Amino acid sequence: MNTRPAARYVLFDVDGLLLDTEIIYTEVTRDIVARFGKTFDWSIKANMIGRAQMESSRYLVETLELPISPEDYLEERNDKLRAGFPDCRAMPGAEALVRHLHAHGIPIAVATSSSRELYELKKSRHGAWFELFEAEISGDDPEIRQAKPAPDIFLAAAARIGARPEETLVFEDAPSGLAAGIAANMRVIAVPDPNMDRNRYTGATEILASLEDFDPARYGLPAR
């Protein structure tokens, strides 16, 4: 860590990192697959988390051998998600960290695989602190040719705030996001769900149990 320059820019994933949306994704998917006598658990979810929605949907349908198409699953899933997302809560430490960085003039941005439509619903009750981000890049942004684990979304977010990759710190909860950040030549702080295997986070600069545990001073950012 100390061989790289101090972090001057910070990028954030959203689902499971800033906002507690994964519980909603899980409940909705469990309800859908249960109709077909199937079980959705972390052995499957762990391979879907953080990926583009069509890619993860294909994986789900094929793995559980569901008698529906990925498109049909997504249509039903997204209808149910639209009802649940406006009530999602912030993850512990998320708002405080975002406000701290903004208060000290650190350029920050969102880089989420979510579509813009669903992202807007997720942040709807958190507008006061989401307005502090200088850029918000969603997975359906026209600049994003390949989803995570490709680096496209982090490189696009960095470009929007004038960031140099080697001076950029990424916060992620998913292995695909970790791989994307590393591919973008950025340092990645992983904050995995407790159900995720920590062995899937090789290459992370640091692995934390919560954003509350992050020490900005370790990376040359203003202490709190």
Same domain, 149 and 98: yes
Amino acid symbol at 166: E
Q: What are phi and psi of 85, to 5 degrees?
A: -60, -35
| Each residue's pLDDT tens digit, 89-132 | 999 999 999 999 999 999 999 999 999 999 999 999 999 999 99
Q: Is the pLDDT at 2 greater than 60, yes or no? A: no
What confidence tier does 51 reach under pLDDT thresholds 50, 70, 90? confident
Any catalytic annotation for residue 197?
Answer: no
Q: Which of 13, 79, 140, 215 is catalytic?
A: 13
Query: Does the residue 177 lie in any domain?
Result: yes
Same domain, 27 and 14: no
Distance CA 146, CA 103 (A): 33
Same domain, 82 and 109: no
Q: Is the pLDDT at 1 greater than 60, yes or no? A: no
How far is residue 68 from each of residues 48, 58, 172, measured CA to CA in Å?
A: 18, 10, 31
Query: Does the residue 224 lie in any domain?
Result: no
Any catalytic annotation for residue 213?
Answer: no
- 91 within 8 A of 115, measured Cβ to Cβ: no
pLDDT value, residue 3 = 73
Q: What DSSP line would sit under 140-202, residue for residue?
A: T-TT-SS-TTSSHHHHHHHHHTT--GGGEEEEESSHHHHHHHHHTT-EEEE---TTS-GGGGT
Query: Does the residue 169 lie in any domain?
Result: yes
How far is residue 64 from each of residues 39, 68, 75, 79, measured CA to CA in Å?
A: 8, 11, 18, 21
Distance CA 106, CA 49 (A): 28
| Each residue's pLDDT tens digit, 169-202 | 999 999 999 999 999 999 999 999 999 999 999 9
How many Cβ atoms sit within 10 Å of the Cβ of residue 62? 10
pTM as predicted: 0.93
**Where in the sequence is the domain holding 135, given as residue range(s)?**
9-20+88-219
